[in-house]
Structure 1
Amino acid sequence: MHKFKKANFIVLTIVILTMLLSGCELESSENFQDNIGDLVVHYIDIGQGDSIFIQLPNGETSLIDGGPKANSNVVVNYLKEMKIEKVDYLIATHPHEDHIGGLPEVVKNFEIGKIYMPDKVANTAIFESLLKEIKAKDLKISVPSSGEYLIDTDDLKYQVLAPNGEKYENTNDYSIVSKITFKDNSFLFTGDAEKTSEKEMIGKGYDLTADVLKVGHHGSSTSTTEEFLLKVDPDYGVISLAKDNKYGHPHKEIIELLNKKGIDILRTDELGNIIIKSDGKDIEILNGYSKENSIKETVYEEENYIGNKNTKIYHSPDCGSLPKEENQIIFKSKEEAEKEGFKPHEKCIK
């Protein structure tokens, strides 16, 4: 081999080895560590639940929910891979397991700044586990008021918009709804807030407009009314959910409504982790999503039915009279429901 060829070969080998040994780190650094000054929102593919990690342009971080307990390692590993050491603003939107299940491990593994939770407790093991981890680190829980600003500067605002009441029949309506505005761009995070909470926010006269809406309650028909959607007027609607989930999410009425309004739908069950970046002027999707290739239509191959344990009535998943989640039982067919002694709801089952 000629000397110059041999030298080129050695250089090429070194370059390849360097890429193999450090490529992942470089990619991670480029995507996640070099964004100070930008707003980057990570809708983590957590399965059937919510978990949203936010890199704020001021260098701080926020985590909204932690997904279900079964996938708590997903959130922890996601943050560790990004070399995150501290979560400055931790928000548990409401005490349902698919939102707080992963938070005990988050509190255990990371330095935590402020913790925000609604004034709603749950008699569940996972809720008690979260309180235990918070107490172990001698942290305090703050109950935010609607309209309160977590951050309030000229270019960056982080505001709580709900809940606006003190007592709700449905735990979902206790959800902390928050909005981040960075210069000309804004993101709205709704938890599982349903129609009652949406109506209250509209009645309060809040500026609900946002470029990106985290669609409420995993795309359930119990949330995202047309009136609310008109107020938000988003370009993108992000839905966090698991593929083939037992609740039939997202419900077809919501998909049809989002399509009707010309809103681009981004779903974690189709795209995995969804990462959206804002420089304060433009929105950029970082995970390969393109408007031209977006999947707008949902094919409902199998329809589950949702029974009410108390009334012994079963409903279609898109019914407007679904029971609270804690009172639900899922059936794969009408025959299965009726075999268990449940009767069809007269309005939604034909």
Structure 2
Amino acid sequence: MKVSIFKGKIMIRPFVWTLFFMIAGIIVGQSASVMHFALFAIIVVVLCVVIAWHFKSKIPIIFVLFFLLGNILITNSLKIVSEKAEEMLNQYVTIIGTVTDIDYTSSDRQKLTIKTESIVTETVTETKSLKILAILPEYQNVSLWDTVILKGELLPLEKSTIKGGYDEKLYLSTRGYHYKVYVEEQSVTGQKRTPVLSFIYDLKQSIQKVYDTVLPPEKSGVLKAMVTGDKYDIDTITKELYAQAGITHILAISGLHISIISMYIFYIFEILFKWNKRRCSVIVLFCLLFYLVFAGFSPSAVRAVTMISIVLIGNIFYYESDYINNIAIAAIFILLLQPLYLWDIGFQLSFILVIGIILSLDILKNCNLPKYIKNTLGISLMTSAVSFPIAAYHFHFISIIGILVNIIVLPLTGILLCIGMIVGILGLFSIQVATFLSGIVYYILCFYENICILAKRVPYGYLFCGRPLLITVILCYLLMLIVYFYKRNNIHYKCAVVFVEIMILISVFGNQYIFKKNKVSFLDVGQGDSIVIQTYDNHNYVVDTGGKIWTALGKNTGIYTVLPYLQSENISKIDGLFITHMDGDHCYGAIELMDTIDIDAIYISNYDFEKTTLYETFIKNANKNDIPIFIIGAGDSAKLGNTIQLDVLYPYYNMSFFDANDNHGSLVLRITSGETSILLTGDIGEIDEKILLQQGIDIKSNILKVGHHGSKYSTTKEFLEEVNPEIAVLSYGKNNSYGHPHKETMDKLQNQNIEIYETAEQGIITVLIGEQGYTIEGTYSK
């Protein structure tokens, strides 16, 4: 049964192994030093020589070449494209170029793709063509193919420093962007329209207007996404509803859509015109290329068209298709164009799901089940299982109910897509006919929506599981392969299954039951503080949440930074939220967290803070969510989990100061686990440090969270000598307006030979504390 997919010798599917070595070259080139790359290259060469000798074939020479090619491609993708443009970063520039694509931000501002002719400052001019993402001011619009002059600050693409957060640099670099700019001034100087592209664009706009005319806005947005590839008109509620039901994939032009379109076109010409397979394949291929341009070359469409085109080309040249080989060829082609796609969730899911479908068909073909059940429930169950590890890694949840929802929804997708296209085309000639037919589209979409609402109400249908370790994901797929090849009476297979299962259990539960390491993470929230404390026995605490006063609630650090991190760590409840003081850069994000995650209790300082609007909003939101607030001060202590001791060292009860500086009220917390201690100092200043020193309490700590983001008015020499830390952690925003950290503070840390970690440079700084001490590392190496 299984020989039909992976049969015979290794050389039957050389493209699969070529892809494997190419991916190895990309991964090694992206992450390894020159010395490590040389070591891996030697291993690859030796391995290929062994394979060539064993199979008496010269094909493994290609494997070596593709390993090297993968390394060259990723190195080229990661290198700086323009030295001149790098010099212009964070400077006011003038950009001259052409608008090649238009999208919209969540606040309805135009987001332009600009192909540049030149980028100019007062001293430097870059004429190399670059791809820039430009965000226009509110209520300012331009048209596709406009030649424009834009003025604003040229900015680099930002790397994600939060596990589970949006990685702007990876996402946009994968799509060919080099820099971004928030436009302050713009003017249109002309247009560069080409007849063919203009015709396709105008056709797309006309079809979208038909949808807007015959359907309500929320239904029109869904249909436009499915047919034209433009998703910016889908409202947030619909996106979340489809995601939780596990059918968000139908909102993007993907393999499902392209397969349905190909099938319709193929059968129309085969049945109506009696054409042979070869001629039908030629027509379908040209239609798909036209549709790819029509859909705007969206990444998902490119992947799907590439995979199906390879099958069609095989038909044209009378080549007997091998599905696994075809998938490998498609993946090689896409990685040749952009190796960064290897880290793209869409790329990973596309190929994993297609492989899952193929393997499902192979496994189920000899099962004694009714054909309909095999082709619906069986395939849906198996493809969902195949996608779960990757979905959990990227999205931190899996949709169990999605298995059932897909069985109900997918059979109607072909009808919806077909009638949707007919409505769009007929609407160009007769809006009345299009309105009549659109009723079918409307009721199918209403049915989808009702199914999603019901699915959302099913208990445990939508499970948060956190972000598994990469090794856990790899082990899950290894287990699937072993099970697929499993031979019932072979002891080696049985041992392999048991071994991999044990490794998966250790990777998931090992820390809780074996290693027992506590974790303290200093998050990169920009100019602010946020620390997450996780005990090995599943107790979770947060100290501060960062915040940006000039950013609206709902788009602040609580939602966009702290919550994604908590979800990635599978934290669904905060046992205690400590707010050191009521400055916005420490507590504003907490207001969002109160509405989005369970919080058992909030702890604030015993200090008479100024009753600002922020303070009042904070208290009001805590009361609205029935979260108790406790007042704590020096002398209070608590046990966090089984092994962490938390002591409150400051402020003292009934303290008052002459100046109205709420930083005096900052909580100073000392957490101790085994022989390791960490001192968290909020925004205390020089006066507060002197008070602490006068009390003669023990403040010695291995790790110091430097006070007030490295301000020169904190971290005195005497205080540093008393704490005597090995590590100093600075939490601040890059290029902040305060100049933090100040040079004076950095000099004092360096003079005392203290190792420095900075969230603005290293991203999340993670401390793992075990019985034998601690380890510390940042998201990005120093």
> TM-score scaled by structure 2?
0.35
The one of 175, 181, 195 aligned to 2:666? 175
Equivalence map 1:83-102=2 (5 Å): 83-102=570-589
Closer, same or farther in 2 for the Cα pair 1:58/1:154, shift >3 Å? closer
2: CA distance, partners of 1:53 / 1:22: 21
Partner AA of 1:113 in structure 2: D
Residue 173 of structure 1: how far off its partner (Å) = 1.4
Closer, same or farther in 2 for the Cα pair 1:23/1:136, shift >3 Å? closer
The one of 677, 687, 699 aligned to 1:186? 677
Preserved contact between residue 49 and residue 67 of structure 1 (Cα < 8 Å)? yes
1: CA distance, partners of 2:627 / 2:702: 34
2: CA distance, partners of 1:186 / 1:177: 13
Q: Is residue 2:773 matched to residue 1:282? A: yes
Three-state SS of the structure 2 residue aligned to 1:122 is coil
2: CA distance, partners of 1:140 / 1:63: 15
Preserved contact between residue 693 and residue 719 of structure 2 (Cα < 8 Å)? yes
Preserved contact between residue 543 and residue 579 of structure 2 (Cα < 8 Å)? yes
Preserved contact between residue 609 and residue 662 of structure 2 (Cα < 8 Å)? no
1: CA distance, partners of 2:601 / 2:730: 26
Q: Is residue 2:9 matched to residue 1:4? A: yes
Residue 248 of structure 1: how far off its partner (Å) = 0.7
Preserved contact between residue 603 and residue 630 of structure 2 (Cα < 8 Å)? yes
Once the two structures are overlaid, the 10-residue window that deviates more, 146-155 or 235-244, is: 146-155
Q: In the TM superposition, what whole-angstrom CA distance separates every residue of 1:11-59 from its partner, at most 9, and x where no partner exists?
A: 9989983675555469933399754322211111100011111112442
1: CA distance, partners of 2:726 / 2:586: 25
Q: In the TM superposition, what whole-angstrom CA distance separates every residue of 1:299-339 from its partner, at most 9, and x where no partner exists?
A: xxxxxxxxxxxxxxxxxxxxxxxxxxxxxxxxxxxxxxxxx
2: CA distance, partners of 1:203 / 1:103: 33
Preserved contact between residue 72 and residue 105 of structure 1 (Cα < 8 Å)? yes
Preserved contact between residue 95 and residue 120 of structure 1 (Cα < 8 Å)? no
Q: Is residue 2:512 matched to residue 1:41? A: no
Residue 77 of structure 1: how far off its partner (Å) = 1.9
Preserved contact between residue 39 and residue 280 of structure 1 (Cα < 8 Å)? no
1: CA distance, partners of 2:672 / 2:617: 33
The one of 611, 615, 618 aligned to 1:123? 611
Closer, same or farther in 2 for the Cα pair 1:231/1:154, shift >3 Å? farther
Closer, same or farther in 2 for the Cα pair 1:116/1:96, shift >3 Å? same
Once the two structures are overlaid, the 10-residue window that deviates more, 159-168 or 257-266, is: 159-168
Q: Is residue 2:721 matched to residue 1:230? A: yes
Three-state SS of the structure 2 residue aligned to 1:206 is coil
2: CA distance, partners of 1:154 / 1:82: 19
Preserved contact between residue 651 and residue 666 of structure 2 (Cα < 8 Å)? yes
Corresponding residue of 2:695:
204
More strand by share: 1
Three-state SS of the structure 2 residue aligned to 1:102 is helix
Equivalence map 1:216-255=2 (5 Å): 216-255=707-746
Corresponding residue of 1:67:
546
Three-state SS of the structure 1 residue aligned to 2:664 is helix
Q: Is residue 2:759 matched to residue 1:268? A: yes
Partner AA of 1:239 in structure 2: L
Higher RCO structure (Cα 8 Å, ≥6 apart): 1
Preserved contact between residue 276 and residue 284 of structure 1 (Cα < 8 Å)? yes
Q: Is residue 2:750 matched to residue 1:259? A: yes
| Alignment gaps of 5+ in structure 2 | 1-5, 17-323, 329-347, 353-385, 397-464, 471-506, 552-556
Residue 189 of structure 1: how far off its partner (Å) = 0.5
Q: In the TM superposition, what whole-angstrom CA distance separates every residue of 1:221-242 from its partner, at most 9, and x where no partner exists?
A: 1111111111111111000001
Residue 153 of structure 1: how far off its partner (Å) = 8.7
Corresponding residue of 2:531:
52
Q: In the TM superposition, what whole-angstrom CA distance separates every residue of 1:233-285 from its partner, at most 9, and x where no partner exists?
A: 11110000011111111011110000001111111111111111111322212
| Alignment gaps of 5+ in structure 1 | 295-350
Residue 202 of structure 1: how far off its partner (Å) = 1.7
Partner AA of 1:235 in structure 2: E
Residue 148 of structure 1: how far off its partner (Å) = 1.0
1: CA distance, partners of 2:508 / 2:675: 23
Corresponding residue of 2:597:
110
Preserved contact between residue 764 and residue 778 of structure 2 (Cα < 8 Å)? yes
Partner AA of 1:177 in structure 2: V
Preserved contact between residue 532 and residue 543 of structure 2 (Cα < 8 Å)? yes
Preserved contact between residue 520 and residue 532 of structure 2 (Cα < 8 Å)? yes
Preserved contact between residue 728 and residue 755 of structure 2 (Cα < 8 Å)? yes
Partner AA of 1:4 in structure 2: K
Preserved contact between residue 94 and residue 120 of structure 1 (Cα < 8 Å)? no
Q: Is residue 2:631 matched to residue 1:143? A: yes
Q: Is residue 2:652 matched to residue 1:164? A: yes
Residue 125 of structure 1: how far off its partner (Å) = 2.6
Partner AA of 1:98 in structure 2: D
Three-state SS of the structure 2 residue aligned to 1:248 is coil
2: CA distance, partners of 1:189 / 1:147: 15
Q: In the TM superposition, what whole-angstrom CA distance separates every residue of 1:128-152 from its partner, at most 9, and x where no partner exists?
A: 2211221012222111120211218
Closer, same or farther in 2 for the Cα pair 1:3/1:152, shift >3 Å? closer
2: CA distance, partners of 1:92 / 1:152: 16
Three-state SS of the structure 2 residue aligned to 1:41 is strand
2: CA distance, partners of 1:267 / 1:153: 28
Three-state SS of the structure 2 residue aligned to 1:150 is strand
Closer, same or farther in 2 for the Cα pair 1:134/1:282, shift >3 Å? same
1: CA distance, partners of 2:641 / 2:563: 30
2: CA distance, partners of 1:141 / 1:3: 67
Equivalence map 1:312-327=2 (5 Å): none
Residue 193 of structure 1: how far off its partner (Å) = 1.0
2: CA distance, partners of 1:127 / 1:212: 30
Partner AA of 2:603 in structure 1: Y
More helix by share: 2
Partner AA of 2:581 in structure 1: H
Three-state SS of the structure 2 residue aligned to 1:192 is coil
> TM-score scaled by structure 1?
0.75
Q: How many residues align?
A: 291
Preserved contact between residue 158 and residue 179 of structure 1 (Cα < 8 Å)? yes
Preserved contact between residue 42 and residue 54 of structure 1 (Cα < 8 Å)? yes
2: CA distance, partners of 1:160 / 1:33: 33
1: CA distance, partners of 2:466 / 2:629: 36
Closer, same or farther in 2 for the Cα pair 1:122/1:149, shift >3 Å? same
The one of 120, 133, 156 aligned to 2:621? 133
Once the two structures are overlaid, the 10-residue window that deviates more, 165-174 or 260-269, is: 165-174
1: CA distance, partners of 2:633 / 2:729: 25
Partner AA of 1:219 in structure 2: G
Q: In the TM superposition, what whole-angstrom CA distance separates every residue of 1:87-143 from its partner, at most 9, and x where no partner exists?
A: 112111001111111001111111112211113333333222211221012222111
